[in-house]
Structure 1
Amino acid sequence: MKRFFYLILIFLALWMAACAPQGFEKTQFGLKTIVDSTEIEIQFFSPKIARVLKSKTGFDFEKQSLAVIKGPEPIELKTEAKGDEVVVSSSDVSVHLNLKTGKVSFYTLTGTSLLNEKEDGAQFIPVKDVDEDSYVVSQSFVLDQDEKVYGLGQFQDGKMSQRNQELYLLQDILITAIPMLQSDKGYGLYWDNYSPTYFTDTEVETSFRSTVGDCVDYYFMYGENADGVVAQMRELTGQVPMFPYWTYGFWQSKERYKSQDETLGVVKKYRELGVALDGIIQDWQYWGDNYHWNAMEFLNPEFPQPQKLVDEVHDLNANIIFSIWSSFGPQTKPYKELDENNMLYDFKTWPLTDKNVWPQPNDAAPSGVRVYDAYNPEARDIYWKYLNQGIFKLGVDGWWMDSTEPDHFERVDSDYNQKTHLGSFRKFRNAYPLLTVGGVYTHQRETSTEKRVFILTRSAFAGQQRYGANSWSGDVQTDWNVLRNQISAGLNFSLCGIPYWNSDIGGFFTGRFPGGVENKAFHEIYVRWLQFGTFCPMMRSHGTDTPREIWNFGKKGDWAYDAIEKFINLRYRLLPYTYSTSWDVTANNSSMMRALMMDFASDKKALDIDNQFMFGKSILVCPVTEPMYVKAKHEDNKYTDAKEDFSSVRSTNVYLPAGAQWFDFWTGEKMDGGQEVEKETPIDIMPLYVKAGSILPWGPEVQYASEKKADDMEIRIYPGADGEFVLYEDEGDNYNYENGVYSTITFKWDDDRQTLSIADRQGEFPGMLTERQFHLVLVNETSGTGLAESAPVKTLIYSGKAVSEKL
């Protein structure tokens, strides 16, 4: 009997030992443990950033992140065991690890739950990735029922919050896949995997599932608010360099200018008309036929003197960038060198090999164009060698890197099985744009610092903000729903930490508007799209089939022409505000296009609005995304039989977020937030509202960005709240600003005292204005508003020393 009793005790002890939590090991950066054959490690990269790494025991691998450039930091951590859990805390966040289940949870230091993994949420399904053992990896989380999440790159589905849907994260012509999201609870999550990935959100769970991966690897970022999350993402993956001042002006482009005389003629015509312009873009085929695709040489006889083209554009005080691709034709020098070194892929890309497929001439098919291995640093060296020799030496001002996703049509296993320098194409697919864009940025900076790198690119991945790149939304259709969907696409893209984005003004493909510029229905959508583009980081007119230059919309006195010119002028008058906002992006981790949840997180009505945004922190923008003045038949997805009707003025509903008062930009009328208002929207008006407490610097009327010094600047003050604005100025190009060669002037508005204080100027740079006039305008319904000249309350001479004025 006693023996039986001892056996029971031994059995119970063994059973309790088997059920007890396993131990854990403290590490320099956090802790690690093993739970049911899964190794789990938590690493702190800062007090606000924690990495969670899970892998199967006995599986050897090396993980070198392509996006994350920050390493873990030895910071002060507090670790304690609490029952089945071990809790490791920094000065900002606590991470709880259940030693029995492996579940990881994140809390504030006061105990507020931020994010929880689902029980048994990590999954590893063994697969063969070509000839290597790997896994389909996934991790599930449980979100609050009413929680909203944003980001994931660019999806043109019109959704602001990404709840209750499944998204396939795979780079495509209209999709930019970035596996990073942020919550309205003030945290962000970056899933560090580059293979095609499913994001799924249901009432039960929210998960990332990647096609192939050696481990579950994600970063939790606690920002407290949306700006804070963006700041953590940039700390993790890289900061944002400045673009040249001129890039914030107006750009003209089309698919395509067919000769250097045509390209130059566009710039000349803008100058003759007195319409402002700063950038012209030369699209493809200046290299000749498709066998010479992306030759990085001017082999087309219509471009006989490329140096003369660049010089003459510069003589007209404009700038020019050229289209380059991620692929090469078989008769080009780069192709031959890359092919000799086994640095080209074999899959269907653009242009296709069928001689009947646009845009190939029949005598240039099959093209044989192949994409290069941008994952290989030696291939990136070869790419830059020919780019430098053939184009950069001409003094060009930037790059249009097309097809950086890259174009990939069949998507069969044999394509994904191809070897890159790093591994299978499947394993690293989504990071391709990061590597190819990064290669050009890095090489240009190593070659010269006289010009800031400017890259216009069709695709992006996490971290691409560090490479001087502006993404555009791809070859979109010209359609009213498409226009509206650009807004949420751009905002979610920006919430991933990448601040520079735009779309083709007017849409790329105009086939739904037969007749193009002869169709007045196209005039209306182009005007409205251009108004939206005025408040995007880059204002660029572009498309195929239909020319977009302003003279194609009539002449002065015609409604479309006048509306286009009006908003181009508005873009230039706002340049001091826009450029200072770009400095806020670089210096303070801000964003240019701001979803309303960024600035009005406490207003529940603002959290899922998909057709409004803030441009900088002062201007509320509500694009008009429906036809009002041109009636057209809409049948078979085409707009025909267009008839103008300006007999009455139509209106647009605008929501003014709570927590602020708002001024109608056009009239000066002041309104309370927390309400929807109806704004009349004639064809030359888009609803714009300025937040009370804002201070807007108003630049001179110019034909190009640097035409006039801002020595006679209007300062518009919107009373009703205290406010502050930092006016940033520098040389406009080069990287001297990185060494402190710039100046800032801080303006502060004290609403109770009705006093504007201007601080001492900080810093200096060559060519800086040492003395200037500021015309102070207190905005109301009787002051000048919109583009009208304002009557200043006071004018003062500012010589860099602090001054205060009561208005």
Structure 2
Amino acid sequence: MKSFKILMLLLFVCSTALIAQSYEKTKYGLKTTTNSLDLEIQFINPSTVRILKSPQGKVYTKESLSVIEKPQDVKYSIVEKDNNIRIKSDIIEVTLNLSSGYISFYDSKGNKLLAENNTPSFTDFNDAGIKTYKVKQSFILDKEEAIYGLGILQNGKMSQRNQVRNLIQGNTDDVTTFIQSVKGYGLFWDNYSPTKFTDNQNETSFDSEVGDCIDYYFMYGGNSDGVIAKMRSLTGEVPMFPLWTYGFWQSRERYKSQNELLEVVRKHRELGVPLDGIIQDWQYWGNNYLWNAMDFLNPEFSNPQQMIDEVHANNAHIIISIWSSFGPHTKPYHELDQNGMLFNISTWPESGLEAWPPNMDYPSGVRVYDAYNPKARDIYWKYLNEGLFKRKIDGWWMDSTEPDHLRWKAEDFDTQTYLGSFRKVRNAYPLMTVGGVYKNQRAISSDKRVFILTRSGFAGQQRYGANVWSGDIGSSWESLRKQIPAGLNFTLTGNPNFNSDIGGFFAGEYNKSWNDGSASKNPMYQELYVRWMQQGAFTPMMRSHGTDLKREIYYFGEKSEPIYDAIEKAIHLRYSLLPYIYSTSWEVTNKQSSFMRALVMDFANDKNVWDMNDQYMFGKAILVAPIVEAQYTPEKIVKVNEESGWNKKTSNTEKEKEKIDFTQKKHTQVYLPAGTTWYDYWTNEKHNGGQEITRETSIDMIPLYVKAGSIIPIGPKVQYATQTSWDNLILKVYDGANGSFILYEDEFDNYNYENGAYTEIPITWDNSSRKLAIGPRKGSYEGMLNNRQFTIILQDGATKKVNYDGKKIDVKF
């Protein structure tokens, strides 16, 4: 009997030892081996955890290109029970099943948020001579769970359920391997190779072509804003843009001389139509063999400094096209080539001649540079600085940052970059090339904020002062409709800065013989353009651009004509909201908020909005319901891609259309989310939420509704953003609920705000006492307004004026 007891004691000690050795506790979590896989769970912060998996014994080095947050010292507990290891912080719990290797994620109350489904897949793969793996991990979602993200996709979907997408950077699809759920969690798949995303009734998975390991981050924010905050904390915060970037921007493919460009600025000032920015597109450098020389070599730009100076003298700004590739006769090409920093993949333009289709008897020799190489990024900046930045160009239109990859062959992905094969790091190219410009400019100047307009983006790019546009899309109502969910899903990946070519890029389908080949004279295009302009007023950058026609307002008619007046009204509306927009910009930077807000962000309890793809909030006060279907003209179905879009032939097949009466009244349907009261922005008519209403419309009106409790500052009528100080703002107050707003101001175009040079004026509305409190001003900066007037207007018309000197004022209604 005594021997039996000793034996049992030994067995107990041995089994306890085995349990104790089933995992290794680390500073940030644990490591273990299960099912022939090495696995690590690593807390980054109490609400974000990193999961690393690799074949047992596989040694690798993984340095993230997107993630910059360092792991914190997180208090966590580990409990092992019934073959499960539970590792728990104050906010989330991660459970690992030692038998299956599956990981599940829970909130602090024990509610399951997400669970892995099936074991991960590691398939042997030869990546350009390097032995590695194809990697896949699947998850199981609730049947009715809505998920968002994946970048800018032209699929028209709000929720990204029930689809298969090949996530690879393209002209009109900008991909980010990130999703977030209506349940309040996010998942970032930290892999840069082409990745297939699959969601069906069996699984939701990421399947990447190359991976030394599986590496993903799970984060819990409780709601969409919380998830975005965690993603930005992980991959980078958003710097402030200059105030002038939020004005109106005019562009064209392309201004063929400096006189053409200057004429646009002069004409806007002459007509009194606001303008803050003009953009010079490609070939200011000359022919295609001089592609992206980053210098004015085209004789039509014989005095570029005079052009830039005149733009500035007219109180406007200019940004200019730069690319990720160089022609063989340029200085950057020669230096990069000598250092082995150019790729041999087919890119735009293919021919040295401008004619379409490309004449391949005369290849351009244009090559993409290795943006993954820090030395190459410095060379890129050297020529950008010498040729353009020193001339006082205000910002950069970084085109083709995918980059363009034409007529691609499988072996193209074997191209060696500084960080391995092109296949391995393909999707991170825009992050690297945009980051190179941002970092280099900031290193030499803090007087001017970096502003980059670019065609592609990836996780983390929000930290580089970049606004991403949706590429060379076709001009159609279908395309307009798709831009709304595209921008909202991009926002939900953590990058708040999105815009599209107002009017669509390829408009040639509207060029008909009966209107002299000018789409701006075609009523079908006029209606589309006006509605796109109205929607574009409620994006972070309001920018008109495209090919096939001139987009400037004066080509659409004259003052007092319906189309002209509708375009001008949309631009003035944008400028009236600049104090609201700029204060929202500060909230984006300082409080991790967003400009374009999917309705699920603010009304997650209303299931009617989970998959709504045609309305959104702009800031936290204004509901935008753009008209995205033709009301006055037949809706033209346009299918166009980059190749067909460049065909400039004018169609002669359509007869002249009858004159359209754009003065007629029409109607549209608007859904008002539940949980609040709404006010019509134009009439102040009051509506209860949770219902669809019919709104009478006109060609010059976009339906807008304001949430009860909102406070919206309205700025002065101006021709450019900084023309008049905000010394007499209107404060529109919408009662029915308590509300608050912080009016933010700074020096508008430098980085002094990072050192505290800014002011905040807190404004609150107490609905029960009908009292508006304008709180004491916080902070200071050189040149700030010490005294100002506010005109306070309630939605019922009650008005009061007060003088404000920085001290608290209570205004009773």
**Equivalent residue, structure 2, for 1:571:** 574
**Equivalent residue, structure 2, for 1:390:** 387
**Equivalent residue, structure 2, for 1:797:** 803
* AA of the residue aligned to 1:694: S
Aligned in 2, Cα 1:376/1:508: closer, same or farther, shift over 3 Å? Answer: same
Instruction: Please state how far the C-alpha of 1:358 moved relative to its aligned partner.
Output: 3.2
Q: Distance in 2 between matches of 1:355 and 1:303?
A: 20
Q: Distance in 2 between matches of 1:703 and 1:354?
A: 41
* AA of the residue aligned to 1:417: D
Q: Distance in 1 between matches of 2:99 and 2:223?
A: 33
Q: Deviations over 1:592-632 (max 9, x none)?
A: 00000000011110111000000000000011111112347
Residue 152 (structure 1) aligned with residue 158 (structure 2) = no
Residue 762 (structure 1) aligned with residue 759 (structure 2) = no
Q: Is the 8 A contact 1:632 1:640 kept in 2?
A: no
User: Secondary structure of the equivalent of 1:213?
Assistant: coil
Among candidates 335, 338, 358, match of residue 337 of structure 1:
335
Q: Deviations over 1:309-333 (max 9, x none)?
A: 1111000000000100000000000
**Equivalent residue, structure 2, for 1:777:** 793
Residue 97 (structure 1) aligned with residue 86 (structure 2) = no
Q: Distance in 1 between matches of 2:357 and 2:773?
A: 59
**Equivalent residue, structure 1, for 2:38:** 39
Map 1:345-360 → 2, pairs under 5 A: 345-353=343-351, 355=353, 358=356
Q: Deviations over 1:308-360 (max 9, x none)?
A: 11111000000000100000000000000000000000010000137575387
User: Secondary structure of the equivalent of 1:207?
Assistant: strand
**Equivalent residue, structure 1, for 2:3:** none
Among candidates 542, 549, 553, match of residue 546 of structure 1:
549
**Equivalent residue, structure 2, for 1:247:** 245
Instruction: Please state how far the C-alpha of 1:512 moved relative to its aligned partner.
Output: 2.2
* AA of the residue aligned to 2:300: E
Map 1:353-372 → 2, pairs under 5 A: 353=351, 355=353, 358=356, 365-372=362-369
**Equivalent residue, structure 1, for 2:197:** 199
Map 1:263-282 → 2, pairs under 5 A: 263-282=261-280
Q: Distance in 1 between matches of 2:638 and 2:87?
A: 62
Aligned in 2, Cα 1:165/1:335: closer, same or farther, shift over 3 Å? Answer: same
Residue 475 (structure 1) aligned with residue 472 (structure 2) = yes
**Equivalent residue, structure 2, for 1:4:** none
Q: Distance in 2 between matches of 1:502 and 1:448?
A: 26
User: 5+ residue gaps in structure 2?
Assistant: 1-7, 512-516, 641-650
Q: Is the 8 A contact 1:501 1:536 kept in 2?
A: yes
Q: Deviations over 1:499-542 (max 9, x none)?
A: 00000000000022123112111111000000000000000000
User: Secondary structure of the equivalent of 2:345?
Assistant: coil
Instruction: Please state how far the C-alpha of 1:636 moved relative to its aligned partner.
Output: 8.9
Q: Distance in 2 between matches of 1:761 and 1:229?
A: 31
Q: Distance in 1 between matches of 2:685 and 2:638?
A: 41
**Equivalent residue, structure 2, for 1:606:** 609
Deviates more, 1:276-285 or 1:509-518: 509-518
Q: Distance in 2 between matches of 1:640 and 1:303?
A: 40
Residue 453 (structure 1) aligned with residue 469 (structure 2) = no
Instruction: Please state how far the C-alpha of 1:74 moved relative to its aligned partner.
Output: 1.9
* AA of the residue aligned to 1:331: H
RMSD, matched Cα: 2.0
**Equivalent residue, structure 1, for 2:130:** 132
**Equivalent residue, structure 2, for 1:50:** 49
Q: Deviations over 1:768-805 (max 9, x none)?
A: 1100110010013xx3xxxxxxxx61100000000101
Aligned in 2, Cα 1:469/1:315: closer, same or farther, shift over 3 Å? Answer: same
Q: Is the 8 A contact 2:351 2:360 kept in 1?
A: no
Q: Is the 8 A contact 1:355 1:364 kept in 2?
A: no
Q: Distance in 1 between matches of 2:199 and 2:520?
A: 43
Q: Distance in 1 between matches of 2:639 and 2:756?
A: 58
**Equivalent residue, structure 1, for 2:423:** 426
* AA of the residue aligned to 1:773: Q
Residue 72 (structure 1) aligned with residue 71 (structure 2) = yes
Q: Distance in 1 between matches of 2:275 and 2:426?
A: 37
Map 1:626-645 → 2, pairs under 5 A: 626-631=629-634, 641-643=656-658, 644-645=660-661
Instruction: Please state how far the C-alpha of 1:307 moved relative to its aligned partner.
Output: 1.0
**Equivalent residue, structure 1, for 2:728:** 712
Aligned in 2, Cα 1:439/1:620: closer, same or farther, shift over 3 Å? Answer: same
Q: Is the 8 A contact 1:52 1:217 kept in 2?
A: yes
User: Secondary structure of the equivalent of 2:229?
Assistant: helix
Instruction: Please state how far the C-alpha of 1:698 moved relative to its aligned partner.
Output: 0.4
User: Secondary structure of the equivalent of 2:467?
Assistant: strand
Residue 178 (structure 1) aligned with residue 181 (structure 2) = no
Instruction: Please state how far the C-alpha of 1:58 moved relative to its aligned partner.
Output: 2.3
Q: Is the 8 A contact 1:521 1:642 kept in 2?
A: no
User: 5+ residue gaps in structure 1?
Assistant: 1-8, 784-791
Q: Is the 8 A contact 2:531 2:626 kept in 1?
A: yes
Residue 752 (structure 1) aligned with residue 781 (structure 2) = no
Q: Is the 8 A contact 2:668 2:697 kept in 1?
A: yes
* AA of the residue aligned to 1:725: F
**Equivalent residue, structure 2, for 1:84:** 83
User: Secondary structure of the equivalent of 1:220?
Assistant: strand
Q: Deviations over 1:184-214 (max 9, x none)?
A: 0000000000000000001111000000100
* AA of the residue aligned to 2:76: L
Q: Is the 8 A contact 1:22 1:99 kept in 2?
A: no
Q: Is the 8 A contact 2:350 2:360 kept in 1?
A: no
Aligned in 2, Cα 1:566/1:648: closer, same or farther, shift over 3 Å? Answer: closer
Among candidates 639, 648, 665, match of residue 649 of structure 1:
665
Residue 680 (structure 1) aligned with residue 679 (structure 2) = no
Aligned in 2, Cα 1:309/1:91: closer, same or farther, shift over 3 Å? Answer: same
Q: Is the 8 A contact 2:629 2:635 kept in 1?
A: no
% identical equivalent positions: 57
User: Secondary structure of the equivalent of 1:460?
Assistant: coil
User: Secondary structure of the equivalent of 2:693?
Assistant: strand
**Equivalent residue, structure 2, for 1:498:** 495
Residue 739 (structure 1) aligned with residue 755 (structure 2) = yes
**Equivalent residue, structure 2, for 1:509:** 506
Instruction: Please state how far the C-alpha of 1:648 moved relative to its aligned partner.
Output: 4.1
* AA of the residue aligned to 2:705: Y
Q: Distance in 2 between matches of 1:231 and 1:50?
A: 15
* AA of the residue aligned to 1:76: K
Map 1:585-600 → 2, pairs under 5 A: 585-600=588-603
Q: Distance in 1 between matches of 2:439 and 2:76?
A: 36
User: Secondary structure of the equivalent of 2:785?
Assistant: coil
Q: Is the 8 A contact 1:630 1:645 kept in 2?
A: no
Q: Deviations over 1:642-696 (max 9, x none)?
A: 4414474211111000001000001100100000011111101111000010000
Q: Distance in 1 between matches of 2:146 and 2:477?
A: 26
Q: Is the 8 A contact 1:634 1:640 kept in 2?
A: no
Instruction: Please state how far the C-alpha of 1:413 moved relative to its aligned partner.
Output: 2.1
Q: Distance in 2 between matches of 1:203 and 1:103?
A: 19
Q: Distance in 2 between matches of 1:291 and 1:634?
A: 37
Instruction: Please state how far the C-alpha of 1:32 moved relative to its aligned partner.
Output: 0.9
Instruction: Please state how far the C-alpha of 1:713 moved relative to its aligned partner.
Output: 0.9
**Equivalent residue, structure 1, for 2:532:** 529
Q: Distance in 2 between matches of 1:359 and 1:444?
A: 37
User: Secondary structure of the equivalent of 1:136?
Assistant: strand
Among candidates 370, 374, 394, match of residue 373 of structure 1:
370
Q: Distance in 1 between matches of 2:487 and 2:638?
A: 29
Aligned in 2, Cα 1:527/1:336: closer, same or farther, shift over 3 Å? Answer: same
Q: Distance in 2 between matches of 1:633 and 1:183?
A: 35
Instruction: Please state how far the C-alpha of 1:641 moved relative to its aligned partner.
Output: 4.5
**Equivalent residue, structure 2, for 1:670:** 686
Instruction: Please state how far the C-alpha of 1:560 moved relative to its aligned partner.
Output: 0.7
Instruction: Please state how far the C-alpha of 1:83 moved relative to its aligned partner.
Output: 1.1
Q: Is the 8 A contact 1:22 1:35 kept in 2?
A: no
Q: Is the 8 A contact 1:756 1:805 kept in 2?
A: yes
User: Secondary structure of the equivalent of 2:131?
Assistant: strand
